[in-house]
Structure 1
Amino acid sequence: MPSRVSARSTSTARKSSATASSGRAGSATPSFAVPEEPALPETAPNLRRDVCAIFADAQRSTAGHRKLVVRLRKIQEACCGISQKNSKRDGKNTEAPEERLIPGEETIPEKEFNVEVGRCVLRILPIKKTEPVGDRILRFLGNFLTHASEKDAEIFGSEEEEDENTHERPTAHLTTSLVSLIVPLLSAKDKIVRFRTTQVIAHVVNSLDTVDDELYHTLRQGLLKRIRDKEPSVRVQAVTGLARLAGNEEDDDENDDTNAALVEKLVDIMQNDTGAEVRRTLLLNLPLVQATLPYLLERARDLDAPTRRALYSRLLPTLGDFRHLSLSMREKLLRWGLRDRDESVRKAAGKLFHDRWVEDCAGTNNDPERVGQRSEPNITALLELLERVDVINTGMESGIAHEAMRSFWEGRADYREAVLFDEAYWESMTAESAFLLRSFNDFCRVENEGKYDSLADEKIPVVTALAMYLHKYMTELLQRKKLTKDATDVNDDETVEIEFIVEQLLHIAMTLDYSDEVGRRKMFSLLREALAVPELPQESTKLTVETLRCVCGPDAAAESEFCSVVLEAIAEVHDTIITEDSFVSAKSEISDDTSSRHRSETPMSEDEKPFNKEEAKAKVLKEIVVNMKCLHIALCMLQNVEGNLQANMNLVTMLNNLVVPAVRSHEAPIRERGLECLGLCCLLDKVGVALS
């Protein structure tokens, strides 16, 4: 960013120079006209010829620009009276820094040099955008201004040492002369001239490290006139220059609202400009500060696909460590990018995740020499990355962590080969390690049509071992769930994490091969026992039923066995209600309020125990909870059954003893769940249910 230098007493010389230059440009009208030809240089008769020859060579090719820049700088030094001895001082001749020159006012030879450079620059203004000649000249001009500024710093001292004289150096004089000559042409009627003029000013701004206050305001006002230009190409160049100026008041003018107002205008343009290239230019050039960051990141929802891709492929990699972003913003960026309708944006977002973010966690990007390079596979860094995207929430079904890890395994073959799921890994699982295991299993067995089956078989244990680990974590989960009822000091976060681990293991179990009878029986027994526990969470119950269906097999006999086992589990869950009467009894005549009161107020002799209203309410509540659990298991079972209802006596029994009484219940949640089950029964046998 070019920093600003306060203008001081020497501004008079600059004003006189600007007056002379603006006089030459005074003939510019709304329709472009080249200013009148300046007189030949008097102090150096060959100056025009030499400068024109350099610009003529520069327009042919960019290959020789470096030599041409040096030649033009020598001419400038000669016109400014800088001896070659002073201009060539380097490490060998820096023993006398006090001999550095003090810049002075613009001399006549220097004015003539500036006029000749401006004369050549004017010649490119009518050149069309499609002609590469104009772009080559502008590139040459920018390189020269950068080189000349560096040479001025060597000769006259750095900006920190003599800040007050920076605006009196030869390159500052040249810049002021060019700006004074070019700025009036910003309002030309010809769109080509407006484009080239704005482009020249943008190149000047980008080539300088410092500008004085007067020049800053001239540039700013000139470019602001063109941010609403009807031509998108002109607006692109205008916002390029303004974005460069927007970050130049970081230290000197902290209390000045000018910069904040400029940034606000640019943000408004980035949000509302109809030109996609304008929005993309601002996205890549606005200063990365706290005030602009939210507006830059929201370009992930831009209408233009290249703009969205630029955010993921160019802006975010330069933003620094992704951990500085908020958790919600990380999740949004991943979701917007990986689910984008454009494939190139999805690839850019995936590359950001598996190439940049994981390297941030690995610490590779902390080393300037290794930024952007891939390090050796680091599973600890990968687990931290999953933690940073809150895998417990984003790893749920339809969560963005699934797409993120799919792109990760696809893009990082080195991690696929290096990952190791040993015994220690299984014994000390966390939510992140469980999801890592599940995503690897899905990538190998589900999403690539068996392409990586051998890799999964090599790294993931057989059914027997998985059943053992699943039993370990499911037992811990059920113990914690039982403790939660009786104690309030149980760490709920740990319970949620273990529940998530169990869910991931159940997802893995659904993809395994159960041809091994020993492993199949062990898994079958485990799932059957777990399903009969009322404390098993709802999502885990659903996955347990689905896994049990896979374990039983796909044929009709296996389906009948599956239904029988699930109904046995439902009966065991229902037996936990310690009452003689229940709404699921097929023989009971359920009446509205009387039935509910009869269930809650169990008859007992007054001599044994007095009536307790709170206890009765708790009993009713427990009955509702258990019945809801039974209906949920039945619902999950019906979702995994395909056979005819009447052909399966287990389903008919369940319909009569569980579903129909639930539909007649006066408890709204039970009735709603019962209707869901009834609907699934209707799908299995429309005619049979209608007749019954």
Structure 2
Amino acid sequence: MSIGQIFDDVQRSSVGHKSLIKRLKRLEGIPEFDEDIKQCIFRLLEVAKAEAAGNRLVKFLTLYMQDADASSPTTSAILLALLPYLSAKDKTARYRATQIVSQILGVLSAIDDELYGAIRNELIRRLHDKVPAIRLEAVTALGRLVESEMDDNPDEKDSDSDSDYEAGLLEKLLDVLQNDSNADVRRALLLNLPITPTTLPYLLERARDRDAPTRRALYSRLLPKLGDFRHLSLSMREKLLRWGLRDRDEKVRQATARLFSERWIEDCANTKDHANETQLDGEQQSEQPEKPIAEASIPALLELLERIDIMNSGAEHGVGLDAMREFWASRPDYVDAVNFEDDFWDNLTAESAFMARTFIECCQQDPATQAKLEDKMPEVTRIGFYLQKNLNNLLDTIRAINDGTRPDDDQVDQEFIVEQLLHIAHHLDYTDEIGRRKMFSLLRDAISVAELPEESTRLAVEALRLVCNADAAGEREFTAVILEAIAEVHDTITPSEPEVPDNEEDSFVSARSEVSSEPASDTTPTRTNPNAANVPKQRKASSGKPKPTTEEEEAKALKEIVINLKCLHIAQSMLQNVTGNLQSNIHLESLLNNLVIPAVRSYEIPVRERGVLCLGLCCMLEPKLAEENAPLFVHCLARGNEGLQVMCVKILCDVLLSRGRSSASEDAALDLAPFVKGLRSEYGEVQSTAAGSLGKLMLCGFYSGNEAVFDEACEVAIGENAKGAELLSKVRAAVQVEAAQEAAVVAGADGDAGAAVAAPEKRQKSSSKRVSAESRVE
């Protein structure tokens, strides 16, 4: 059989290639062997990429060269013959030549230095070829070359010419990895570049690649090949989880979840095996064979949580919650292995507390695991005792830190543990009356402690609302308890023997500046003083005391501001958890008059801002109050700082959303002047918030009947080049398309009165579905 007949048979089928290679090797000694091979390859260069016969020929040549001697004349002759075609004008010839060279280089163990340099230079030129398929073959070949260069020069940092030679190629490939327009080219480099400390940051950048398969390749192929995830930096672990678990592509999220719950946990479970591994030191770690899945190990899970810095990633919107949600759903063996005995609760750490919290939350959402949760969880009373113990530890730690006897780091750990226990309290069954009373008393006392951090206070307020009944009576009880707690916190400002002028009453909140001569508000009530009859006598007795120093006055004023902010934060947390009418609840009305309004009138900026926020929450509960205070919010939007302006825009938007589409009068157009003013603000965040608010209003049905004012606002956003203007325009276009579709449906009903009546109802129902459940001010 001649060489031509062999190549003819190769094109027909991939079956029998091995036998044809043996026949071709028998012909190696005949005259003109190299010339005949080259002639067959030249014919292959004319075969288009889509032709299967051409791909079979390339595969056959690769298998043949795999068994050939790297220094054989045939190998060198083929590569030399292909060199001119790497820069041919015909794109088919360039593609086939680059493809064949790439495949041959992938199987050769050595090559002549002069030939190697010529091929390398030609392939570098192909990195900028206009045909993506040619660039793909070039980067595949060069990825192998740069790896071999690193293997030949392991100490490249100490080398001069070799280091520059290698760095030049690596730099070019990294540039292609970052900037090539073709996703296949970037993905090929991602999977072919060697993993070194130099290349690793560029490879991990592909987690934000615009191509979903490339991002998926990183999580499903590159990162498992990387080895122990603990070689990565702490910030990079957190970023990879956050980018992957919140990716817009479902397959990327699934790949990230598998990486976390199958590979990373196994790295921690097989710690003793990893003890013998060396850390990443500049050489690519070889891909290890799959290890058997280790048995469920709670210590390994706790280590994994520590490795992703759970105290930061486990916060309110941290990625730790997403990661553990996927973990519990995919690892039933770990669900069975969890055990909440007394030792567990007595020796809580940040990691174990977070593990318990996520376990309880995930099990409650899955009916299949609810029975297991009931068997593992202690009763509510015991949880209350554990919470009380950790609350006391936290408060003792805070006081010790204030005294300078303990470091600040201790508070961070204790605070995180308390927060997780309060999250757990949100998911307990309070039908147990003994446990409910225990939690009620504990939470009420915790809220009234001024030193308790704000996040813990917020969670305690939310838990207390769940402990109280869900009806109106339970809400009144809840607000009464919170008001008592606020009074106790505020009492820490007033000394035991108050020294006040005869004509000034002891107000519930003193949010006025020391230099203010403004009289107290008429709505500010007085607190009954049981020792009122003795006040003049106390003043006379103390008149001989020295006047306080400037430092003491400043410390007192600062403490007053801090306590007022704490009281307002408790009020804010309460207002975010009530739904009743403000006028029907005397406690809410008292809170408004005695705390919120004086805070809004305060000369202290932080107090005034938080007072405005609480006032906005009160307006959500009382439409009449919202109408009366709308000018105040507009004034703050015009004169306030950036934070206050953002807050007022949100308040005005939420007030409109809470009142619904009926708030827009049939006769008068909707007043969007405050939002237009926000679009013209000098602050980008205010512009973005105003644009987002207008978009929400349009999506919630306010556009219909108010097209002119919304269109004018959109034109202002575009004309001012406001931040968020592009998104606002897209929302308006989507709303207009939806309105046109609904009008077409109504018009196509052939005058059917029922369809004409149903259209507004359908539109109203569609709008109500888009209304966010979170209608309160954040």
Instruction: Give the alignment's TM-score, normalised by structure 1.
Output: 0.80
Question: d(CA) in 2 for partners of 1:491 and 1:69?
Answer: 74
**Residues 446-486 of structure 1: per-residue CA shift (max 9 Å, x gap):** 4x4x4532232222222122112111111101111111211
1:651 matched residue in structure 2 = 588
Question: d(CA) in 1 for partners of 2:172 and 2:350?
Answer: 45
Question: d(CA) in 1 for partners of 2:506 and 2:571?
Answer: 13
Q: How does 1:119-198 map to 2 (within 5 A)?
A: 119-149=39-69, 169-170=71-72, 173-198=73-98
2:558 matched residue in structure 1 = 621
- Give the aligned residue type for 2:622: D
Q: How does 1:552-563 map to 2 (within 5 A)?
A: 552-563=468-479
Distance change >3 Å, CA 587–CA 464, structure 1 → 2: closer
Give the Å deviation of 1:688. 5.3
Are 1:302 and 2:221 counterparts? no
1:113 matched residue in structure 2 = 33
Structure 1 contact 338–404 (Cα < 8 Å) conserved: yes
For residue 111 of structure 2, give the secondary structure of its aligned residue in structure 1.
strand
Question: d(CA) in 2 for partners of 1:185 and 1:209?
Answer: 23
- Give the aligned residue type for 1:221: N
2:642 matched residue in structure 1 = none
- Give the aligned residue type for 1:145: M
Give the Å deviation of 1:500. 0.5
Structure 2 contact 513–604 (Cα < 8 Å) conserved: no
Distance change >3 Å, CA 572–CA 666, structure 1 → 2: same
Question: d(CA) in 2 for partners of 1:615 and 1:351?
Answer: 59
Structure 2 contact 512–603 (Cα < 8 Å) conserved: no
Structure ranking higher on relative contact order (CA contacts 8 Å, 6+ apart)? 1
- Give the aligned residue type for 1:241: A
Structure 2 contact 510–598 (Cα < 8 Å) conserved: no
Distance change >3 Å, CA 283–CA 671, structure 1 → 2: same
Are 1:440 and 2:340 counterparts? no
Give the Å deviation of 1:563. 0.5
Structure 1 contact 297–311 (Cα < 8 Å) conserved: yes
Are 1:551 and 2:463 counterparts? no
Please tell me whether Structure 1 or Structure 2 has the larger radius of gyration of its CA atoms.
1
Question: d(CA) in 1 for partners of 2:516 and 2:302?
Answer: 57
Distance change >3 Å, CA 225–CA 587, structure 1 → 2: closer
Distance change >3 Å, CA 197–CA 370, structure 1 → 2: closer
2:133 matched residue in structure 1 = 233
- Give the aligned residue type for 1:354: S
Give the Å deviation of 1:70. 4.2
Are 1:454 and 2:371 counterparts? yes
Question: d(CA) in 2 for partners of 1:356 and 1:497?
Answer: 28
Are 1:327 and 2:239 counterparts? no
Paired residues in the alignment total 586
**Residues 119-147 of structure 1: per-residue CA shift (max 9 Å, x gap):** 33333222222222222222222222222
Moved more, 610-619 or 190-199: 610-619
Question: d(CA) in 2 for partners of 1:373 and 1:69?
Answer: 39
**Residues 427-448 of structure 1: per-residue CA shift (max 9 Å, x gap):** 11111111111111221224x4
Of the three residues 492, 496, 500, the one matched with 1:576 is 492
Structure 1 contact 69–147 (Cα < 8 Å) conserved: no
Moved more, 577-586 or 256-265: 577-586
Question: d(CA) in 1 for partners of 2:56 and 2:566?
Answer: 75
Structure 1 contact 247–259 (Cα < 8 Å) conserved: no
**Residues 84-138 of structure 1: per-residue CA shift (max 9 Å, x gap):** xxxxxxxxxxxxxxxxxxxxxxxxx5x7433333333333222222222222222
Structure 2 contact 583–622 (Cα < 8 Å) conserved: yes
Give the Å deviation of 1:531. 0.9
Give the Å deviation of 1:63. 4.1
Structure 1 contact 312–352 (Cα < 8 Å) conserved: yes
Question: d(CA) in 2 for partners of 1:391 and 1:458?
Answer: 27
**Residues 398-421 of structure 1: per-residue CA shift (max 9 Å, x gap):** 111111111212222222222222
**Residues 518-567 of structure 1: per-residue CA shift (max 9 Å, x gap):** 11111111101111111110000000000000010211000000011111
Of the three residues 611, 633, 636, the one matched with 1:674 is 611
**Residues 351-371 of structure 1: per-residue CA shift (max 9 Å, x gap):** 111111111222277498753
For residue 44 of structure 2, give the secondary structure of its aligned residue in structure 1.
coil
Structure 1 contact 592–666 (Cα < 8 Å) conserved: no
- Give the aligned residue type for 1:473: N
2:393 matched residue in structure 1 = 476
1:633 matched residue in structure 2 = 570
- Give the aligned residue type for 2:228: D
Of the three residues 342, 350, 354, the one matched with 1:423 is 342
2:458 matched residue in structure 1 = 542
Q: How does 1:494-513 map to 2 (within 5 A)?
A: 494-513=410-429
What 5-or-longer segments of structure 2 have no aligned partner? Answer: 278-286, 521-537, 630-778
Question: d(CA) in 2 for partners of 1:119 and 1:313?
Answer: 42
Are 1:360 and 2:267 counterparts? yes
Question: d(CA) in 1 for partners of 2:608 and 2:46?
Answer: 80
- Give the aligned residue type for 2:515: D
Question: d(CA) in 2 for partners of 1:356 and 1:587?
Answer: 56
What 5-or-longer segments of structure 1 have no aligned partner? Answer: 1-48, 80-108, 150-166
Question: d(CA) in 1 for partners of 2:397 and 2:479?
Answer: 29
Displaced runs of 4 or more, over 6 A: 587-592, 595-598, 689-692
Structure 2 contact 511–598 (Cα < 8 Å) conserved: no
2:754 matched residue in structure 1 = none
Are 1:62 and 2:14 counterparts? yes
**Residues 652-674 of structure 1: per-residue CA shift (max 9 Å, x gap):** 12222212222222222111111
Question: d(CA) in 1 for partners of 2:311 and 2:518?
Answer: 40
Structure 1 contact 646–685 (Cα < 8 Å) conserved: yes
Distance change >3 Å, CA 595–CA 508, structure 1 → 2: farther
Give the Å deviation of 1:180. 0.9
Distance change >3 Å, CA 60–CA 575, structure 1 → 2: same
2:114 matched residue in structure 1 = 214
Moved more, 613-622 or 377-386: 613-622
1:527 matched residue in structure 2 = 443
Question: d(CA) in 1 for partners of 2:66 and 2:448?
Answer: 78
Structure 2 contact 512–604 (Cα < 8 Å) conserved: no
Distance change >3 Å, CA 646–CA 617, structure 1 → 2: same
For residue 420 of structure 2, give the secondary structure of its aligned residue in structure 1.
helix
Distance change >3 Å, CA 327–CA 275, structure 1 → 2: same
For residue 452 of structure 2, give the secondary structure of its aligned residue in structure 1.
coil
Question: d(CA) in 2 for partners of 1:177 and 1:432?
Answer: 64
Of the three residues 284, 291, 296, the one matched with 2:198 is 291
Structure 2 contact 10–57 (Cα < 8 Å) conserved: yes
For residue 128 of structure 1, give the secondary structure of its aligned residue in structure 2.
coil
Question: d(CA) in 1 for partners of 2:517 and 2:49?
Answer: 86
Q: How does 1:70-89 map to 2 (within 5 A)?
A: 70-76=22-28, 79=29
2:320 matched residue in structure 1 = 401
1:46 matched residue in structure 2 = none
Question: d(CA) in 2 for partners of 1:591 and 1:465?
Answer: 46
Distance change >3 Å, CA 282–CA 589, structure 1 → 2: closer
- Give the aligned residue type for 2:244: G
1:486 matched residue in structure 2 = 403
Structure 2 contact 509–595 (Cα < 8 Å) conserved: no
- Measured on the aligned residues, the alpha-carbon RMSD in Å equals 2.7
Instruction: Give the alignment's TM-score, normalised by structure 2.
Output: 0.71
